[in-house]
Structure 1
Amino acid sequence: MEGVQDTEEKSVARVENRPVNNYDGEAAMNRPDQDALDMAKLGIAQETKRRFGLVTILGFTTCIMGTWESSLPFFLTAYYNGGPVTMVYGFILAFFGSLATCASLAEMASMFPVSGGQYYWASLLAPPGKVKFLSFLTGWLSVLGWQSASATGTYLGGTIIQGVVKLNYPEYTPEKWQATLMLYAVLILSVSVNVSLVKWLPGVEGVILIIHVVGFFAILIPLVHLAPISPVEFVFTEFINTSGYSSSALSWLIGQSASAVLFIGYDGACHMAEEVQNARINVPRAMFFTMFINGAMGLSMYLVILFCIGDIDKAINTPTQVPFIEIFHNATQSKTAATVLTSLLITTYIVANFNFMASASRQAWAFARDGGLPFSHIFRKIDQKKSIPLYAIALTGVLNALLGLINIGSTIAFSAVVSLVVGGYMSSYVIVICVMIHKRLTTNKIEFGPWNLGRYGLPINIIAVIYTFVTVIFAFFPPLVPVTAANMNYSGAVYGLVVIFGIVYYVVRGHKTFIGPKLPRNAL
């Protein structure tokens, strides 16, 4: 408890803008350590250990994004809304739109390499009079996105196991409560790794990256070699609108938004920035490089799905309730082979969730450090022995567990929570990039980091905002019409409730407790 109290004292001292124990800003500025210089410039005490280098944080971010793994369970919305044309060309649009967004955020990560990420940047870049609220709202939305994303990892890792069991034992009847128990098993493993094995986490990232790459080829090669191949014309020119929307353009935009979720997670590196060596360079590099790695692998897997899809109606209506398992089975004509391929995929989901939990907990911890969450005085504490935000990790675990209970009542409702990933993440992106655009247009005095967009910054920022805003809007549309209780997209309603709750909390109490980032020196 002594370590926790020390950390709390540091946080209070930072709020009151007075020196903290064991941390001297002037001394830090005189050390030949760029990370120490950055922390001193931002007025933040170094409370966590810098365990990650470029390769390990690249592995961390690459596996969080997991584009090729996500393409297999999430391709159906795009297929319903435009078929192959939406999947291929919508994916390409999503890549370039996400690349512009990633580049915009990477530039800010180089300027301010801090775990708070978007809400911190919004505070430092926003115009006077709007700083505090915009920073709070951005942080609230980012917390929403990351906690939803962490729940997605446990959900996929746990529930797909039921599909494998159903494939091998047709008499088995999947129950929702069983899926939730499997979800909990994945959750317990993720928490254990983040708490007990944290010092080995960078080394684990190398193993996870290997699994990510090897798993890709282990699935791609058998499918391409064994599956009946669809015609080239079908893959690149077929437009299929089975969504029920009368407008093909509207249907395409809804399907295209499904590809956006495949590029979520590159800002995970930002929220680990205070644990990365040479963060102002390595964090933006990891963000940018992972876009190209995952973009190439994701497009390849989308093409493999289309070329090897076989009977799509059979895949959609499979008894396993997991279409890609049917695709594997159809290609290999072997339950054993399909089980092995699916098990590889499940493994990638589970190990990626280690990273989701790490990043989600750091983002929540950073926001609590500035008083942004209810009970921030608890969640901002650091366990000094392990140098990790133990209470924030616990918060992430508890929220995951509570969200898992929703699945018992309704898989549809839980899927809506999962789809909040796009709304939460991208809303925070829109706010902070708009703030950056305003800054570019109103002042030339911006002190950029070593990784910056130069004269192309403004047009890239504008492209990023347009793409992200449009994607958020269409992500809330139901994938099929007519709308029923079974296909309704409840994410818009849930998103609205969470945002309203955040605003009410800010008005009632948050405006008093949320201090926002405060710089002891002019960083701009």
Structure 2
Amino acid sequence: MAYERKISKDQPFSGKALGDFGSNGEDGGPRRASADDMLAVLGYQSELTRSRSTWQVAFMSFVLASVPYGLATTLYYPLIGGGPVAVIWGWVAVCLIIICVAVSLGEITSVYPTAGGVYYQTYMLSPAWCRNITAWICGWAYTLGNITITLSVNFGTTLFIIGCVNIFTDDAGVGIWTATTWQTWLLFVAITLLCNAISALGNKWLPMLDTFAIFWTFAGVLAIIVSILAVAKNGRHNASYAFGNFTASSGWVDGWSFFIGLLHAAYATSATGMILSMCEEVRQPATQVPKAMVGTIILNMICGFIFLVPLCFVLPPIEELIVLAQPFPYILSSAIGNKGGAFALTVPIIVLGICCGTGCTTASSRCTWAFARDGAIPGSHWWKKVNTKLDVPLNAMMLCMVVEILLGLIYFGSTAAFNGFSGAGVIFLTIAYVMPIFVSLVTGRKSLKAGAYDFGAFGIFCNVVAIAWTLLVTPLFSMPSYLPVPASGMNYASVVFVGGTLISAIWYFAWGRKNYQGPPAKEEAVIRRRSSMIVVE
């Protein structure tokens, strides 16, 4: 029988309700439970429609990465970091690391499938004496990471469109659109508004958009690689160059230069855990979301490899590419030898940029809403409301949008603002992802017994790799991508990171230390009742 008790979202989840729900079936064995039943045990009332199947959540996870888009818009970083070696092998290395992150998060998500994602998981896994502060840190990192990655996607699409238009040049060889700072920012605002409008007004059609994006991606990638390899206007490099040439142009020593180039792959895979915020719109999140996370990373790695290898065979001289903010359109133009044809090949990437921005907008709004319903954000009573007509947390979405537009003003102070947005987003999200993984590992991974997945020794290995990756990423992506550094090229990732951390710390000491209590349900009761259930598949 379905659970019918309604839990007020304005009142803490009571132990009595939890106890009532946890009764076994008539034969004394575990009772079967729907996803909404499971959510009730975790402390929340279902407020969003569960409309996504396994394939649909996998498709959305794929769209959040939008590999051809993410790799095309950040190709500058591995090109200055090491050339073809950094482009191809940096991608493969990071994907293998992110698979470990996804496996680690998948294990934990099978126990705690809520829109709060890693924030909720960190709270439940942490010892009682520190769970409030660890959840607070993780929640703010997760929320700010979602917002800044969404910002960087929309800003990246802006710069990419400008780069694509400038495939067309005047008689002097100069791009036809020398975009001013104001024009760039206004285009970014227009793209941000468009993505928010699609996400808010077309929520029930988003699964169809994600499905379309899958076929669009493979059609676009196929068109690009066939065209550039078939035409290859300026010839093709041999395999030793495409797979083995290392040319560091960043000004850093070779080893560190290669690491700098990893921002390319880290950015494209940074949205891995953002799909967790969709758990309350998925039919069987405890199993579907972990499968989607891991499966799409493997698919992304293959798709990215297929996309990047042909590019390395037709690369123009590296010194021509590193002076461009967006080298990908130039690579196409050089390989095709026809500006109109090259621009046509960029259209699939631009469309994927809009799809990716819409997906990130959707995920970031759910993340912000979930954090606000536990009272952790100033003005939470506004941001935790769900627009029942649109079936979206519209207020939280609008909050994210305003913050993104305001942060976009950094571009007026630094032309390297995109580097700051993408770097800060990767740092925030990586820290958020690793916190529940770290706490689970140091507490003996005991809570995984109540979930669907526990990979034992392999899981422990994945946990260690994820933690080591975080220790590298945090300082790495705070540094400038090249030396020497002009004032206009400063990496603002550290500024955005420190600023966000400072805001969360001030709010904690001003309000959170005395008032914040974390999620309504408590770990001991959740594990006990979770273990007595068989989630309906």
User: 2:78 is matched with which residue?
Assistant: 78
1:313 and 2:315 are equivalent in the alignment:
no
Cα deviation per residue 1:418-453 (whole Å; 9 max; x = unaligned)?
321111110112222110111217xx4643421332
User: 1:90 is matched with which residue?
Assistant: 90
**Amino acid in structure 1 at the alignment position of 2:327:** P
Aligned residues of 2:149 and 2:421 also touching (Cα < 8 A): no
- Superposition TM-score, scaled by structure 1 size: 0.91
User: The residue matched to 2:243 in structure 1 has which SS?
Assistant: helix
**Amino acid in structure 1 at the alignment position of 2:282:** V
1:240 and 2:247 are equivalent in the alignment:
yes
Aligned residues of 1:158 and 1:179 also touching (Cα < 8 A): yes
1:48 and 2:53 are equivalent in the alignment:
no
Cα deviation per residue 1:350-371 (whole Å; 9 max; x = unaligned)?
1111100000000000000111
User: 1:3 is matched with which residue?
Assistant: none
How many residues were matched structurally? Answer: 509
Cα deviation per residue 1:477-511 (whole Å; 9 max; x = unaligned)?
21111222233222113212211221121111122
Across the aligned residues of Structure 1 and Structure 2, the Cα RMSD in angstroms comes to: 2.3
For residues 72-471 of structure 1, the aligned pairs below 5 Å read: 72-168=72-168, 170=170, 171-227=176-232, 228-245=235-252, 247-317=253-323, 321-440=325-444, 444=446, 446-471=448-473
**Amino acid in structure 2 at the alignment position of 1:289:** G
Cα gap change, 1:67/1:414 in structure 2, threshold over 3 Å: closer, same or farther?
closer
User: 1:14 is matched with which residue?
Assistant: 12
Aligned residues of 2:415 and 2:489 also touching (Cα < 8 A): no
**Aligned-residue offset at 1:298:** 1.1
**Aligned-residue offset at 1:380:** 0.7
Cα deviation per residue 1:180-225 (whole Å; 9 max; x = unaligned)?
2222222222111122111122222211222222222122221122
Cα gap change, 1:144/1:299 in structure 2, threshold over 3 Å: closer, same or farther?
same
Cα deviation per residue 1:53-74 (whole Å; 9 max; x = unaligned)?
1111111110111223211221
Larger mean CA deviation between 26-35 and 60-69 belongs to 26-35
User: The residue matched to 2:271 in structure 1 has which SS?
Assistant: coil
Structure 2 CA distance, aligned partners of 1:440 and 1:277?
30
- Superposition TM-score, scaled by structure 2 size: 0.89
Aligned residues of 2:414 and 2:489 also touching (Cα < 8 A): no
Aligned residues of 1:52 and 1:276 also touching (Cα < 8 A): yes
Aligned residues of 1:102 and 1:288 also touching (Cα < 8 A): yes
Identity score, percent: 25
User: 1:488 is matched with which residue?
Assistant: 490
Cα deviation per residue 1:390-419 (whole Å; 9 max; x = unaligned)?
101111221222223333443223531232
Aligned residues of 1:159 and 1:180 also touching (Cα < 8 A): no
- Structure 1 gaps, min length 5: 1-6
Aligned residues of 1:230 and 1:310 also touching (Cα < 8 A): no
**Amino acid in structure 2 at the alignment position of 1:98:** I
**Amino acid in structure 2 at the alignment position of 1:59:** F
Aligned residues of 1:64 and 1:265 also touching (Cα < 8 A): yes
- Structure 2 gaps, min length 5: 1-5, 171-175, 529-537
**Aligned-residue offset at 1:273:** 0.3
Cα gap change, 1:413/1:353 in structure 2, threshold over 3 Å: closer, same or farther?
closer
Structure 2 CA distance, aligned partners of 1:135 and 1:206?
34
Structure 2 CA distance, aligned partners of 1:28 and 1:342?
57
Q: 2:478 aligns with which of 468, 476, 479?
A: 476
**Aligned-residue offset at 1:473:** 2.2
**Aligned-residue offset at 1:166:** 2.6
Aligned residues of 1:186 and 1:350 also touching (Cα < 8 A): yes
Cα gap change, 1:416/1:71 in structure 2, threshold over 3 Å: closer, same or farther?
same
Cα gap change, 1:58/1:421 in structure 2, threshold over 3 Å: closer, same or farther?
same
User: The residue matched to 1:515 in structure 2 has which SS?
Assistant: coil
Cα deviation per residue 1:95-132 (whole Å; 9 max; x = unaligned)?
11111111101111111110001110000001221100
Aligned residues of 1:62 and 1:294 also touching (Cα < 8 A): yes
Structure 1 CA distance, aligned partners of 2:434 and 2:448?
20
Aligned residues of 2:199 and 2:358 also touching (Cα < 8 A): yes
Structure 2 CA distance, aligned partners of 1:405 and 1:177?
10
Structure 2 CA distance, aligned partners of 1:513 and 1:193?
36
Cα gap change, 1:182/1:332 in structure 2, threshold over 3 Å: closer, same or farther?
same
**Aligned-residue offset at 1:91:** 1.9
Larger mean CA deviation between 360-369 and 506-515 belongs to 506-515
